[in-house]
Amino acid sequence: MTASTPARTTVSAILPFILLLVQIGSGLAAESSFEIDIKELDRTKTPARATKKKTVKPSRPAPARSSTRKKAETLPASATGYVKYAVKSGDHIFKILMKDFGMSNSAAEALIPEIVRINKISDIRKLSIGQTILVPTGVKHGTAAIAKGAPGKVRPESPVLNKQPATTVTPQTSQTSRSLTEAPLVAAVAVRSIKTREPGEIVDSLMNILALKWGKNQIIETSPGKGGGGRFSVKVDRYFEHNNKRFILSLSDNDPYTYTLFRLLEVEGYNVVRVSPADDFAKIVSSLLTHLDITYRYAEHSLMLNDKNRTITRVTGFLFTRDTNPPRQVLITESPVAALTAELQEVKDKHP
């Protein structure tokens, strides 16, 4: 017997056991088999959140403004074409038109008689504080423009001096309308010439033109101070009263003593106007008009004189309006003029 015989015997003995184990394993595998349901796999997935679709509402058109509101925004300051103005301290009609309504000198002068008429003003020098006056806007069916930085104050257009018959006009270019508004206004003016160069005579002539009731070399006495003391008197070169104010004109270079007395008079309410012997026409006139609160315009004016030849000339002087009834424009100049009245054509500003 060879050595391989025991090995074959061992394999033959073990082989049945191996086959048995294989069958047992196959049976177990058959019993544990199962099927996978696709639906079960789907359940393991996290359900996606349903996205809500936003419903877009149809846009509604903005409600149109009512026609009554639109009309209210384009109406003039008043239905009658007038603007109401409350008089303040220190106001007079000419000052109101130029400073508060931005009108030119000539436009204000032309409008003043109409204001006097519609407000039934008997004396324009006696406007009371708080009094309401009506000011024409110039264009009765136009809109009034509000001045910047001044709420409630209306800047009217320049008044039309001559009323023309109504006609139908086709709108043209802006150049045409601009040329109409830039046409120079013509206004009547009284021309007064002061030819002297002597300061005292200039002052006297100016006060006469202004129709002031003045006195020369008057004695002014002060009221006694506390305890009855401190009363004194001083002689002044010129004295007059205007609009409930007292004015003193000094025509010389005062010494320290007189200067002190004038300062004491100012404390008591006197207005002291000092005129130096070296002052010229322009300085004297501007100083006095300023103390009197008279609004003036110092400029070179083009005038058409009311003489036989209707001469056109240029004159430098002070143009202002006197508080007469009706008001009147006055031009004071140092140049000789051949007529007492003229028509103002053009203005070119100067500085005194």
Answer whether residue 217 is part of any domain. Answer: yes
Question: How far apart are the C-alpha atoms of 195 and 180, rounded to whole Å?
Answer: 39
Q: State the pLDDT at residue 60.
A: 58
Nearest to 236 by CA among 212, 268, 261: 261
Q: Are residues 241 and 333 in the same domain?
A: yes
| Across 227-242, average pLDDT | 81
| Across 218-241, average pLDDT | 78
Q: What are the residues facing 279 on neighbouring strands? A: none
pLDDT, greater one: 132 or 257: 132
Question: How far apart are the C-alpha atoms of 145 and 101, rounded to whole Å?
Answer: 10
Q: Are residues 208 and 147 in the same domain?
A: no
Q: Are residues 277 and 147 in the same domain?
A: no
Answer whether residue 270 is part of any domain. Answer: yes
- Per DSSP (E only), the strands in 40-199 are 82-86, 132-136, 145-146, 154-155, 187-193
| Across 115-121, average pLDDT | 84
Boundary (domain end) residue, out of 142, 157, 172:
157
| Across 254-281, average pLDDT | 88
Q: State the pLDDT at residue 73.
A: 34
* DSSP type of residue 226: G
Q: Are residues 227 and 142 in the same domain?
A: no
Question: How far apart are the C-alpha atoms of 54 and 102, rounded to whole Å?
Answer: 59
Q: Are residues 112 and 259 in the same domain?
A: no
Confidence grade of residue 39 (pLDDT, cut at 50, 70, 90): low
Q: Are residues 253 and 302 in the same domain?
A: yes
Q: State the pLDDT at residue 78.
A: 52
Domain extent, residue 82, equals: 75-157
Q: Give the contacts of 280 (CB within 8 A, at least 6 positions apart).
A: 197
Q: Are residues 245 and 322 in the same domain?
A: yes
Question: How far apart are the C-alpha atoms of 255 and 204, rounded to whole Å?
Answer: 23
Q: Which two tokens stand for residue 80?
A: 């009658």
Q: State the pLDDT at residue 317.
A: 94
Judged by average pLDDT, the poorest of 34-48, 88-102, 322-336 is 34-48
Whole-angstrom distance between the N-terminal and C-terminal Cα of the chain?
160
Q: Are residues 103 and 199 in the same domain?
A: no
| Predicted confidence (pLDDT) at residue 98 exceeds the cutoff of 90 | no
Instruction: Give pLDDT tens digits for 268-293.
Output: 899 999 999 999 999 999 999 999 99
8 Å CB contact between 203 and 288: yes
Percent of the chain with pLDDT over 90: 25
